[in-house]
């Protein structure tokens, strides 16, 4: 039986991916190259440090460790400037009713995100009270597609991995769920999230019947 739902944040609960893209694009431009929206897709679900390495390798740019730390902080500062303006109106369609549905059924809820700003974002959109546990970039050593994020979530909730469903919009996240022996629901394009056990394009109209597919 499914006892818990673990949610990624960016692209699942809110669309902060657009803010990440703007901040990363600004960083790339500052370093003398560009970043397209298509290229940004490969950064979804990936930690800040790994994302920077991917961008630098793509364009053959070399930075010292100190320079990397500097630019990661700069990127995060630009991102936070945008996040500060977020409101509950930016919760993706259907998310809050779905959370109400699974919470009412007694299911546990955890966040499993690479973002170190997860708590700030959840506070901005008034979603913090829904979560029984929050696993974010401040607690995780091994980013997705390693399953550590979700395994820590299951442990924090006191459930087995096999009793969890992971909701993810990224390939790395779906892979992490599978590696952790968890079921997965992809949120997005079925043509991309082919390894997910089931895919929805939106939470609109979704209810407990989605969970019951796995029981």
**pLDDT in the model for residue 12:** 96
Q: Which of 31, 81, 23, 83 is nearest to 48 (CA)?
A: 23
Residue 60 DSSP SS3? coil
User: Mind telling me the catalytic residues?
Assistant: 8, 10
- Give pLDDT tens digits for 162-178: 999 999 999 999 999 99
Q: How far from chain centre, in Å, is Cα 130?
A: 16
Q: Are residues 73 and 158 in the same domain?
A: no
Q: Which range of residues forms the domain containing residue 185?
A: 4-15+88-212
Q: Are residues 109 and 140 in the same domain?
A: yes
Of 39, 60, 83, at which residue does a domain stop?
Answer: 83
CA distance 86 to 20: 13
Q: Are residues 92 and 79 in the same domain?
A: no
Model confidence, pTM: 0.82
CA distance 123 to 121: 5
Handedness of CA 31, 33, 37, 39 (dihedral sign): negative
Q: Are residues 21 and 52 in the same domain?
A: yes
| Residue 18 confidence (pLDDT) above 90 | no
Supply the CATH number for residue 193's domain: 3.40.50.1000
- Give pLDDT tens digits for 44-97: 777 889 999 999 998 899 999 999 999 999 999 999 999 898 999 999 999 999
Residues 6+ apart with CB under 8 A from 170: 8, 11, 44, 45, 46, 144
């Amino acid at each position: 039986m499914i006892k818990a739902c673990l949610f990624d944040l960016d692209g699942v609960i809110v669309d902060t991916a657009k803010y990440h893209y703007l901040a990363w694009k600004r960083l790339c431009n500052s370093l003398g190259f560009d970043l397209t929206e298509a290229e940004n897709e490969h950064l979804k679900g990936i930690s800040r440090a790994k994302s920077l390495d991917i961008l630098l390798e793509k364009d053959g740019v070399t930075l010292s460790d100190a320079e990397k730390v500097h630019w990661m902080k700069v990127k995060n500062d630009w991102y936070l400037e945008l996040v500060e303006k977020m409101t509950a109106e930016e919760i993706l369609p259907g998310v809050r009713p779905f959370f109400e549905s699974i919470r009412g059924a007694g299911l546990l809820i955890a966040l499993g995100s690479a973002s170190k700003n997860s708590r700030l974002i959840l506070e901005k959109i008034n979603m913090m009270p829904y979560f029984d546990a929050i696993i974010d970039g401040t607690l995780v050593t091994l980013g997705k597609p390693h399953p550590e994020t979700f395994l820590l979530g299951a442990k924090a909730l006191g459930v087995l991995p096999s009793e969890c469903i992971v909701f993810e919009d990224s390939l790395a996240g779906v892979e992490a769920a599978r590696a952790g022996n968890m079921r997965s629901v992809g949120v997005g394009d079925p043509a991309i999230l082919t390894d997910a056990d089931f895919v929805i394009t939106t939470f609109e109209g979704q209810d407990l019947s989605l969970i019951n597919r796995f029981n």
